[in-house]
Structure 1
Amino acid sequence: MPTDCISYQNSGYFSLLMNDYLDQKNDLQSLYNRFPTIENFEGQILEKQANYDNSNRVSLVSVLQKQYAAIETSHLTQQNIEALKVTNTFTVTTGHQLNLFTGPLYFLYKIISTINLTKELKAKYPAYNFVPIYWMATEDHDFEEINYFNFKGRKFRWNKESTGPVGRLSTEGLSEVFELYAQELGSSTNAETLKNQFKDAYLKHDNLADATRHLANSLFGTYGLVILDADNADLKRPFIPFAKEELLQQTSHKAVLETTEKLKKYNIQVNPREINLFYIEDKMRERIILEEGKYKINNTKIEFSEEEILALLESNPEMFSPNVIMRPLYQEVILPNLSYIGGGGEIAYWLELKSFFDTVKVTFPMLLVRNSVLLATEKQIKKADKLELTWSDLFSKQAD
Structure 2
Amino acid sequence: MTEREIAEIRRRYRPEKTNITHLRGCYVNEKREIVSQFDQPLSMMSEEEAEKILATLKRTLSGAQGRNLFDVEFATQQVVDSEEHRLLMSLRSSGLGDEEAVQAFLQKVIASLSMEGSYLILLAHETYDVPYRSADGGRQDDASDQVYTYFLCSICPVKLTTPALSYFIYENKLSNRPADWLVSPPELGFLFPAFDSRSANIYSALYYTRNPAENHQEFADAVFNREIPMPAAEQKETFQSLLGESLGEDCSLEVVQAVEGQLTEMIEAHKERKEEEPLAVSKYAVKRVLEGCGVPEERLSTFTQRYDEAFGPDLDLSPRNLVNARALEVATPDVTVKVNPERGDLVETRVIDGIRYILIRAEEGVQVNGIDIHIS
TM-score of Structure 1 vs Structure 2, range by shorter chain? under 0.3
TM-score, length basis structure 2: 0.22
Judging by fraction of residues, say which structure has more helix: 1
TM-score, length basis structure 1: 0.21
Q: Which has the larger radius of gyration?
A: 2
Judging by fraction of residues, say which structure has more strand: 2
More relative contact order in 1 or in 2 (CA 8 Å, sep 6+)?
1
